[in-house]
Amino acid sequence: MSNRWSLVIPVKTLVAAKTRLAAATGPHRTRLAVAVACDTVSAALSCPVVERVIVVTADPAAAGPLAALGAEVVPDPDRGLNTALRTGAAHAARLAPGSPVGALQADLPALRPAELAVVLASAAEFDQAFVPDALDVGTTFYGVRPGVPFTPRFGGESRARHLAGGAKELCPDGIESVRRDVDTPDDLRAARALGLGPHTAAVVEELWPAP
């Protein structure tokens, strides 16, 4: 049994990704979405307690760059976010049946490996656990111990659904980068204040140069 995690990161078809950023990003929306996913995956792979990152996607525009970073890419069955996550988790269980498995949102461009390590160490204490997003409405991380059923409840007001499903809510100090997902221009500004990863920073600096 390993205490290093398999993390599943779902990357939706980029034509549909980040629709709430469309007005601000225009034709650069896909490029920004790829950059954000690349920074999320890079940070996760750099976390010392992460053994592997499994990306679930149907989009070759994302699959290529993310595989080049070291992620394992599996096809998205295109039956919704939680089905995609369960598909990735099943792949992880085949590769490493004795490892804990987590789901991580793909839109965490400020993610810090050390902060993710704090979350994973906390999650390892519980059968199932999750991290709420910065608004305390959604969820950015959900994980289970080895042998515990993997039952993600992402989408919409997922914080309440994860609580209702018996998952332990994790809110230790100092994990702001794990909670800061990006759906809107305001979210992106908040992530920029935390410090964006290099892929996202390059795109953002091109689109909105710092004063």
Binding residues for phosphoenolpyruvate: 139, 155, 158
Residues contributing to the annotated binding site: 139, 155, 158
Half-sphere exposure of 95 (CA within 13 A, CB side): 19
Is the separation of the CB atoms in 123 and 140 below 8 Å?
A: no
Contacts of 188 (CB under 8 A, 6+ apart): 21, 24, 109, 182, 204
Rounded to the nearest 10°, the torsion over CA 40, 136, 167, 44 is 10
